[in-house]
Structure 1
Amino acid sequence: MGLEVQTLPSFSQLIGEEALVNQLTPLAARSFLGREEVSHPLGDARSSYEGKVVLISGAGGSIGAELCRQVIDCKPSKIVIFELSELGLYNIDMELRSIIEQEKMSIELVPVLGTITDSRQVRKILLLHKVQVVLHAAAYKHVPLVEANPLTGLVNNVFGTQTLAEQAAKAGVERFMLISSDKAVRPTNVMGASKRLAELVIQDMAKRQKKTGGTVFSMVRFGNVLGSSGSVVPLFQEQLSRGGPLTVTDKSVERYFMTVQEAVRLVLQACSISRGAEVFVLDMGQPVPILHLARQVIEKSGYQVRDKDNPDGDIEIQITGLRPGEKMSEELTLSDDLVGTTYPKIFMTHEEGLSQIEIASALRRLREAFVACDEEMARDVVRQWVEGFHQPVVAKATAS
C-alpha cells in the first residue's frame, strides 16, 4: 500500500523513567565479571582444528554449545556433537546447521544421542568418524544434585571420562582435553571429588600415552561460568523477576568467574599447545563475593536493596546457610607452582597423580560400590583417594 509505518517510544521513555526501562531489560551476565574480559583471538590455535574431525561431548550444555560455535569458526572438516539430552542435542544441532548453511561452510555435522559411559557406542563413533580431537565437556556439574545422587554423579563423571579416554587412545585420537573445575581442588563435595577423580584418570592416561607417543591428554580448570545453566546470575535474575528475595548461602562466600566465551577460548588454546599431562588455568583476577554480586544484580536492574539500613528498599537478600558440600571459597591448583604459556592469561602446572596401580584400585572399588548401590562405600573411596576431601559444617539460614 506504500504506507510508512513508525513506532512511538514507550510511555516510560517519554516520561524519562529510565529506571523502569532498566528493570525490564535483561542484563548481560558479563557485566558482573568485575574485571576486563579476556578477549584474545584464537590465533595460531585455529590450525589445531582446521580440517580436523572434532568430537565434543556434552555438546548441548552451556560450555559444549559454545565449544561448537567456536570450533565451527575454525573450519573443521567434521564436528561430532555427542549429547545425552535429546532436547539439548536438537537445539545445538539446529543452531549449528543454520550457521553452516548461512556461512556456506563445507563442514559435516554429526549429531549423536548417547552416553559416554557406553563403551561400545563410544568406540563405534570414534572409529567410524576417524575422530582426531576430543573436547570432553560432558559432566553432571550441579553440586546439590550430585550430592543427593552421588553414585550417578560418580559413574557419569568418572567412568564416563575413563570410557571416553580409553576408547580415544585405542582409536588413535590425536588430542584429548578434559574440561574440569576449580571445585576439583581439595573438594568438599561429591561433584568436585568426581571431577578430581576424572582428572586422575586423565593424568594416568597421559603418562601411559606419553611413553608410546599416543594421544596427548590434558585438562583445563576454570571457575564459575557466568550465565551458564543453573549458575548464580540467572538464578538471581529469576528470583528478582518474582520480587525476591535473592538467596545467598553465606555473607563471606566468594567465587572466581569467567564468561563462557573466555572459558571456551581457554579450552581451545590450551588444547592446541598441550604436550600431555598439563593442568591449564586462566588468570581470572580476584574472586567475587557472592553477596556483592547479589547487590549488583539488584541495583543494575534499577532496584534498591532492602535491609536494616534501607528498610524501604525493594528487594531483600536472604542468607540461607551453606548447602551440603559447599565451600566458602575455591582454589584453582593444588600448588602455587604456575608457569606461563604463549598465551598471556593462560598458565599451566603439573600435579602429582596416582600410580597406575592406585588408580586401578580406586576405580575397581568405586565400581564395586556402584554394583552394590552403596553410597557410603563410594564416599569411602573418595575419602581414600582424593587429596584434601572433607565435608564442611553446614550453617543455618539467617537474614542479611
Structure 2
Amino acid sequence: MKLSDCKALPRSVKRAIFFVTDTALVPIGLYAAFGLRYGTLAPLDRVHDAFVLFVLMTMLGALVIWKCRLPQIKLNAFEMRAATKIGVVAAALAVLAISLSYILKLSGPRSVPLIFGTLFFLSSVGVRIAGQTLLTWLEDREGTRQRVAIYGAGAGGIQMAAALRQSSEARPVLFVDDNPNLHGLMAAGLPVYAPGKLEQLVRRHRIERVLLAMPSISEERRRNLIDDLSGLGVEMQILPSYIDMMSGKQPDHQMQPVSPDALLGRDKVDLDTPEIAKAYAGRVVMVTGAGGSIGSELCRQLINRNPARIVLFEQSEYALYAIDRDIRARADAAGIPIVARLGSVADKSRVTSVMEQEGVEIVLHAAAYKHVPLVEENELEGARNNVLGTRIVAEAAAAAGVERFILVSTDKAVRPTNIMGATKRMAELVVQDLQTRNLRTRLAMVRFGNVLGSSGSVLPLFEKQIEQGGPVTVTHKDVTRFFMTIPEAARLVLLAGAYAEGGDVFVLDMGEPQKIIDIARRMIELSGRTVKNPKTGQGDVAIKITGLRPGEKLYEELLIDDASLRRTPHAKILRAQESMFSQIEVAAMLRELEMALAEADSDRLRGLIARKVEGYHIQEAVG
C-alpha cells in the first residue's frame, strides 16, 4: 500500500468507507455487548431471541450515523470535538437500543444497550486512531513529510501542531519548552522535552526543521535562541507574534522569502537519478570551495548519497566553520565522517597533501572567484585562483589517481566580455588538455547559468532592496540570463560526475533566458508588494535602471559550438565536446600567465586573454 494511493481516493469514497465501517460496528458492538453481559464468546441463544433488534438497530443506526455526519470527520483532523461527536452518537444509539427493547418487549438485562453504546464509542474512535497511525507509518516509510520539532509548548505551539497535522509538507514530532513543569508531559499528543536534549533528539528523530513558536518573547531572547539553535544543522523558522499577525504586519526580519523556484519561469528539472547514488556511494569525495553557495549545497546533497567520507576544502576559515557546523549533525546521524581542511587551491603542497592523506577518489572543484565586477578590478588574483588554482587541483587529482574530477564553470566562459568569464574558459582549456594525458582520471566540466540564491546573485540583492522599500536596481531593461536553482546546480555537478567520459562539457537545458527586469517584477509581487509606476507614482517598490557594469553582457550563452551537443541518459542534460588547445599551446598560455602574475602586470594578462580566449571582447557601454 502506498500513501499516494490512499490520498488519491476521492472524498466520496473515503466517506463511504467510514460510513460502512461505522454501520458495521453497530451489530458487531451489539453482539459483543451480549457476549460481555453473559460472559461468553457465543451468546447465540440471546442473539437469536433479539434478532429483530439487530436488524432494526443496524438500519436505524446507519441513519443516525449519516444524519450526525460521522463519515465527514477528517481523519487527519481527528481531535476532541470529533471524539465528542462520536460520543453523542454512541449515547443516541444506546438510548435507541433501550427504546426498541421496550417497544419490542424483549427480555434481557437493560445493561446490554449501555455496554453497546460504550463499545461503539471505543471501536469507532479506535478505528480512526488506527487509520491515523497507518498513515503516519506510511509517511515515515516513504519520507513524504518533513519531520518538525516545535520550540514552545504553549498556546501558539499547540495551535501550530494542530495545523501541521493537516498539512502534507510537515509532521510535528515533539515539543521543546523551557518550562520544567512541562517536561515529560504530553501536549497535543506530542511529548515535551527540555531544550538541553534537542541536539540528541534531532539525531534520534531525524528532525529536519525547528519551528520557534514563542511569539511573545522579547527580541533579545529570540536572537539568543536562534544563536543557540543554529548549530543543530537544521532549518529554523519563527512564528510571528499575534499582534503582528492581527495587524497584518510582520517584523522586517520576518519578510516572507521568495522561493527561487517561483522565479525560474519554467518547471524545475528533476535531476535526482539513481546514477548519482551509484557514482558516489562508498567513495571519498573532496569538495573545494566547500563553504561557498554551490560547494555547501554539494556537501549537503552528498550526505544523501552515502559516500565513505566528505572532505571539506575551503580557504575562508569562517565559511569552513559554517558549512562544517551546518552538516555535521546530519552527517553523524548518517554515519558519514566529515573532514574539514583549511587551504587555498593555489597552494600546491597543501592540496596534494590533503588528497594523499584522505585517499580522495572524487574531486568536485567549486572554488573560484566569480563576482564579475570584483574580478574585473582584481584581475591578477582572479586569474591566479581560477586558472592556476584549477591546474593545481586537477594535476594533483590526476597524480593521486582519483576516479573523477569535475570543474564547476559558468556560461560567462562562452565568448566572455569580462575577466572572470575569460579565466573560467582558460580553466576549462587546462582541464581539457590534462584529460588528453590521463586515461585513469576522467576530467569534465559543468557550465551553470545564473544560480538563484547564490552569493552575488540577484535573489539576495533584490530581497534586501525590497525589504528596504526599494528601489530595486537593474542594470539594463533588456539584459537576460539563464537561471537555475542552487539544488539544480549541485545535482548537475553530481550527475556530471556520474556521466563523465573525459574532457566533456555538461550543460542543463534551462529553457529560454529570462529578463532580469521580469525577475525583479516577480520578486516584488511575490513579496506581497506592487511595482511603483514611474508616471503615476502609485505602487510600493520602484525599479531603477543603472546601466551595465564593467564586463557585463546583455545576454549569456551556454555553448561555443552548438553543433557539438550530444545526448546523455538524462533528457535535460546535454554534453558537448568543444574545441581545445594543444598541449604546447596550453603550456605557453600558462607560462605567460605566470609571468604576468610574477610581474603584477595587468596589461599583459589582458593581452594574453585577448589572444587566447575565443570570442573575448570588451562589452561596449549600453545605457
Work out which of the residue numbers 462, 465, 471 in structure 2 matches 1:239. 465
Aligned 1:286-305 pairs, distance under 5 A: 286-305=512-531
1:395 aligned onto 2:622: yes
What letter corresponds to residue 435 of structure 2 in structure 1? Answer: A
1:92 aligned onto 2:318: no
List per-residue Cα deviations over 1:57-82 (Å, max 9, x = no partner): 00000100011111111111111110
Q: Decide whether aligned partners of structure 1 residues 60 and 245 sit closer, same or farther in structure 2, where only a CA change above 3 A counts.
A: same
Q: Decide whether aligned partners of structure 1 residues 385 and 288 sit closer, same or farther in structure 2, where only a CA change above 3 A counts.
A: same
Partners of 2:382 and 2:271 in 1: how far apart? 34
> Relative to structure 2, which stretch is displaced further, 373-382 or 25-34?
25-34
**Residue 347 of structure 1: aligned partner:** 574
Work out which of the residue numbers 302, 309, 312 in structure 2 matches 1:71. 302
CA-CA distance at 1:223 after TM superposition: 0.3
List per-residue Cα deviations over 1:291-313 (Å, max 9, x = no partner): 11111111111222123344122
**Residue 507 of structure 2: aligned partner:** 281
Partners of 1:195 and 1:225 in 2: how far apart? 16
The aligned length equals 388
1:379 aligned onto 2:603: no
Partners of 2:416 and 2:380 in 1: how far apart? 16
CA-CA distance at 1:322 after TM superposition: 0.4
8 Å CA contact 2:255–2:467 kept in 1: the answer is: no
Aligned 1:355-374 pairs, distance under 5 A: 355-374=582-601
8 Å CA contact 1:76–1:107 kept in 2: the answer is: yes
1:328 aligned onto 2:554: yes
8 Å CA contact 1:12–1:21 kept in 2: the answer is: no
Calculate the TM-score normalised by the size of structure 1: 0.93
Partners of 1:32 and 1:22 in 2: how far apart? 21
SS in 2 for 1:306: coil
Partners of 1:330 and 1:35 in 2: how far apart? 18
SS in 2 for 1:25: coil
CA-CA distance at 1:20 after TM superposition: 10
What letter corresponds to residue 448 of structure 2 in structure 1? Answer: F
Partners of 1:147 and 1:290 in 2: how far apart? 21
List per-residue Cα deviations over 1:310-360 (Å, max 9, x = no partner): 412221111110000000000000111221110121001100111100011
Aligned 1:215-226 pairs, distance under 5 A: 215-226=441-452
What letter corresponds to residue 300 of structure 2 in structure 1? Answer: R
> Relative to structure 2, which stretch is displaced further, 52-61 or 303-312?
303-312
Work out which of the residue numbers 127, 149, 158 in structure 1 matches 2:378. 149
Partners of 2:540 and 2:484 in 1: how far apart? 29
- Higher relative CO (CA 8 A, sep ≥ 6), structure 1 or 2? 1
Q: Decide whether aligned partners of structure 1 residues 4 and 57 sit closer, same or farther in structure 2, where only a CA change above 3 A counts.
A: closer
Partners of 2:513 and 2:420 in 1: how far apart? 21
1:10 aligned onto 2:239: no
Partners of 2:522 and 2:572 in 1: how far apart? 26
Partners of 2:554 and 2:279 in 1: how far apart? 38
8 Å CA contact 2:271–2:492 kept in 1: the answer is: no
Work out which of the residue numbers 346, 361, 377 in structure 2 matches 1:117. 346
Partners of 2:273 and 2:300 in 1: how far apart? 13
Partners of 1:48 and 1:220 in 2: how far apart? 16
Coordinate RMSD, CA, aligned: 2.0
**Residue 163 of structure 1: aligned partner:** 392
Q: Decide whether aligned partners of structure 1 residues 250 and 128 sit closer, same or farther in structure 2, where only a CA change above 3 A counts.
A: same
1:57 aligned onto 2:288: yes
Q: Decide whether aligned partners of structure 1 residues 120 and 32 sit closer, same or farther in structure 2, where only a CA change above 3 A counts.
A: same
Aligned 1:9-28 pairs, distance under 5 A: 10-11=242-243, 13-14=245-246, 17=248, 24-28=255-259
Partners of 2:290 and 2:566 in 1: how far apart? 30
CA-CA distance at 1:283 after TM superposition: 0.5
What letter corresponds to residue 10 of structure 1 in structure 2? Answer: Y
SS in 2 for 1:179: strand
Q: Decide whether aligned partners of structure 1 residues 176 and 22 sit closer, same or farther in structure 2, where only a CA change above 3 A counts.
A: closer
Calculate the TM-score normalised by the size of structure 2: 0.60
Instruction: Tell which structure's C-alpha radius of gyration is larger.
Output: 2
Report percent identity of matched pairs: 48
Partners of 1:191 and 1:329 in 2: how far apart? 16
Work out which of the residue numbers 468, 472, 475 in structure 2 matches 1:249. 475
List per-residue Cα deviations over 1:277-302 (Å, max 9, x = no partner): 11000010111100111111111112
8 Å CA contact 2:244–2:250 kept in 1: the answer is: no
CA-CA distance at 1:276 after TM superposition: 0.4
List per-residue Cα deviations over 1:257-291 (Å, max 9, x = no partner): 00111111111112111110110000101111001
**Residue 231 of structure 2: aligned partner:** none
> Relative to structure 2, which stretch is displaced further, 283-292 or 4-13?
4-13
List per-residue Cα deviations over 1:26-59 (Å, max 9, x = no partner): 2222221111111232312211111111110000
- Consecutive unaligned residues of structure 1, counting only runs of 5 or more, are none
What letter corresponds to residue 590 of structure 2 in structure 1? Answer: L
Partners of 2:481 and 2:251 in 1: how far apart? 30
SS in 1 for 2:463: helix
CA-CA distance at 1:25 after TM superposition: 1.5
Q: Decide whether aligned partners of structure 1 residues 288 and 20 sit closer, same or farther in structure 2, where only a CA change above 3 A counts.
A: farther
Q: Relative to total residues, which structure has the larger helix share, 1 or 2?
A: 2
**Residue 104 of structure 2: aligned partner:** none
**Residue 204 of structure 1: aligned partner:** 433
CA-CA distance at 1:13 after TM superposition: 4.5
What letter corresponds to residue 307 of structure 2 in structure 1? Answer: P
SS in 2 for 1:55: strand
1:272 aligned onto 2:498: yes
CA-CA distance at 1:4 after TM superposition: 7.7
Q: Decide whether aligned partners of structure 1 residues 20 and 306 sit closer, same or farther in structure 2, where only a CA change above 3 A counts.
A: farther
SS in 2 for 1:51: coil
**Residue 403 of structure 2: aligned partner:** 174
> Relative to structure 2, which stretch is displaced further, 51-60 or 386-395?
386-395
- Consecutive unaligned residues of structure 2, counting only runs of 5 or more, are 1-151, 157-214, 216-240
What letter corresponds to residue 247 of structure 1 in structure 2? Answer: T
What letter corresponds to residue 55 of structure 1 in structure 2? Answer: M
Partners of 2:445 and 2:328 in 1: how far apart? 29
CA-CA distance at 1:95 after TM superposition: 1.6
What letter corresponds to residue 86 of structure 1 in structure 2? Answer: E
